[in-house]
Amino acid sequence: MAFELPSLPYSHDALEPHIDTRTMEIHHGKHHAGYTSKLNAAVAGTELEGKSIEEILTSGTLSAGIRNNGGGFYNHCMFWEVMSPNGGGAPTGDLAAAIDAAFGSLDAFKEAFSTAAATRFGSGWAWLCVKEGKLSVCSTANQDNPIMKGLGCEGTPIMGIDVWEHAYYLNYQNRRPDYINAFFNVVNWEKVAENFKTAL
Ligand code: MN
């Protein structure tokens, strides 16, 4: 069963003005679609064919094709889900309590996450992860992610931000920090809370 590009859970223009329509069209329809088809080509005929994306990414030493495109497939699936036109605001319940416990406050968490995203040199991602029941922030290069082993950024990711230039350059050009601030206006905290619950 080949991997399929998931449909966006909202329209391309739903995250305006924070994430612009054209960026969403290209990002989902070209970049994520490309990772998906290249992942399928990379696993075809290998022992990884038919395995879940989590099984593939934790299966050990990965070829460059599977690492980059498998990571790209997984990361973007999460990225679309943790944003929503009804997002922003603040988390509630157990997630809010865990953020306070780990970082001191929501603002302190936002600062840690934003710093991780802003200081990732070149292309990559910043993550909010759960490890042994505790939240932490880290970042990875390229399409790597925290479920890959040995990167010094490990755990179960529950929220990620794409800081590749393709994620923001049309609207924000070199102003990555402005894009990161805008991301918080569309964070789907309900989905992040659901991911948190699943990861515990
Ligand atoms: Mn991307």
Could you read off the pLDDT of 171-188 as tens digits, one per residue? Answer: 999 999 999 999 999 999
What is the distance between the alpha carbons of residues 157 and 151, in angstroms, rounded to a whole number? 13
pLDDT recorded at residue 50: 95
Gap from CA of 40 to ligand 1 centroid (Å): 18
Contact indicator for 161, 73 with CB cutoff of 8 Å: no
Nearest to 196 by CA among 100, 131, 110: 131
Query: Average model confidence (pLDDT) for the chain?
Result: 97
Three-state DSSP state, 7: coil
Gap from CA of 93 to ligand 1 centroid (Å): 30
Gap from CA of 153 to ligand 1 centroid (Å): 19
Give the whole-number percent of the chain exceeding pLDDT 70. Answer: 100
Gap from CA of 31 to ligand 1 centroid (Å): 6
Q: Is the pLDDT of residue 1 over 80?
A: no
Grade residue 150 by pLDDT with cuts at 50, 70 and 90: confident
Gap from CA of 73 to ligand 1 centroid (Å): 9
Gap from CA of 101 to ligand 1 centroid (Å): 31
pLDDT recorded at residue 149: 85
- Per-residue pLDDT reduced to its tens digit, 102-148: 999 999 999 999 999 999 999 999 999 999 999 999 999 999 999 99
What pTM was estimated for this model as a whole?
0.96
Taking residue 79's Cβ as centre, other Cβ atoms within 10 Å add up to 19
Gap from CA of 27 to ligand 1 centroid (Å): 6
Gap from CA of 164 to ligand 1 centroid (Å): 6
- Per-residue pLDDT reduced to its tens digit, 15-27: 999 999 999 999 9
